[in-house]
Amino acid sequence: MSGKPIVEEMLQKIGSINRVEGFDPTPFAVEYTDMNTGENRKRLPVMIQMAWFRLKYPEGRIAVGVSPARDCFVATARVYPSYKDGPECFLAEATASRGPDPARPSVSPREWAQTAAVGIALRNAGFGLQFHAAGDAFLAEAPDELGERPQGEPESEPTYEVREPTPEEKLRQAQSTPCPIAKYSGKTLGEVLTLDPKAILWVANKFTGNQDISAAAKYLCDYALEQAAG
C-alpha cells in the first residue's frame, strides 16, 4: 500500500485543527524571506491569528509578560481557551526576544518581542498554517521562527495589538470584561457597575480567580473615583 494516500489523509486531519465554520485563514497568508536560508516562506499575520483564535475561543485570552534583558526585551505569551483558566492551564506558550533594529529605529523592541511571542504561541496552539506541521517543511521552519532575527519579521507586524491602548480603549475593555460572580453570570463588569458597585469593588480587591478580571475591575473603580472627584 502506497504511503502517499496516508500522508495526504494525515495532512487533511492536520488542516482541520481549530477549524471554524465559514472561515479559511489560508488566503490571508503572507510571504516573507528567511534571513538565515534566503528561502521564501508563508505565514499568517498575528492579527489574523488572533482573529481566528477569537472565532474558535470567544472567551479565550492571551496573557503576555515582558522583561528587559541585555540589549533586548524578552516576552512570554500564553494562550488560554477561557479567561477562567488558571495560570498553568494554557494551550500553548512561547518566548521571543527582540533588540533594537538600526534599520527601523521607530519600532519598539519591547512591542516587537510581545508581538513575536503572541504569534509563535498562537501557532503552537494550532492557529497557523497547519500544512507546515508535517514533514520536512515544519522541521525546517520551526527552528528558524523560534530563533528568528529581527530582520526576518514581516514589516506589518511589529506594532500590532501590543501598542499601548488609549484610555478610552482601556475603559471599553474593562467594561466588556465578563463578571466572575455567579449572581451576575452573563453580564459584563460595566453592566454590573451600574447595578451593584460594591460587587465590582469586591472583584477588584478580593477576587483571586483571574488577575486580568481583577485588574479590569480595579480600572473601573479608579475611573469611577476620578469621575466623582471631577
Q: Is pLDDT at 2 greater than 60 in this prediction?
A: no
Buried b (16+ CB within 10 A) or exposed e, 213-226: bbebbbbbbebeee
Q: Any idea which architecture 3-152 has in CATH?
A: 2-Layer Sandwich (3.30)
Backbone phi, then psi, for 191, in 5-degree steps?
-70, -40
Q: Is pLDDT at 181 greater than 50 in this prediction?
A: yes
Q: What's the pLDDT band for 187 if we cut at 50, 70, 90?
A: confident
Cα–Cα nearest to 118, from 72, 78, 153: 78
Q: How many CB atoms lie within 10 A of CB 198?
A: 8
Amino acid 80: pLDDT: 94
Strands 40-43 and 72-80, bridge-based pairing = unpaired
Cβ-Cβ contacts under 8 Å for 221 (sequence gap 6 or more): 200, 201, 204
Q: Does the predicted model carry a pTM greater than 0.75? A: no
Which single residue is written with the C-alpha cell 488609549? Answer: 166
Q: Which three cell numbers stand for residue 201?
A: 469593588
Backbone phi, then psi, for 22, in 5-degree steps?
85, 5
Amino acid 7: pLDDT: 65
Strand partners, 78: 63, 93
Amino acid 130: pLDDT: 61
Show me where the domains of the chain are located: 3-152, 167-229
More confident residue, 196 or 138: 196
Q: Is pLDDT at 20 greater than 90 in this prediction?
A: no
Q: What's the pLDDT band for 94 if we cut at 50, 70, 90?
A: very high
Q: What's the pLDDT band for 6 if we cut at 50, 70, 90?
A: confident
- For residue range 113-122, list pLDDT tens digits in order: 999 999 999 9
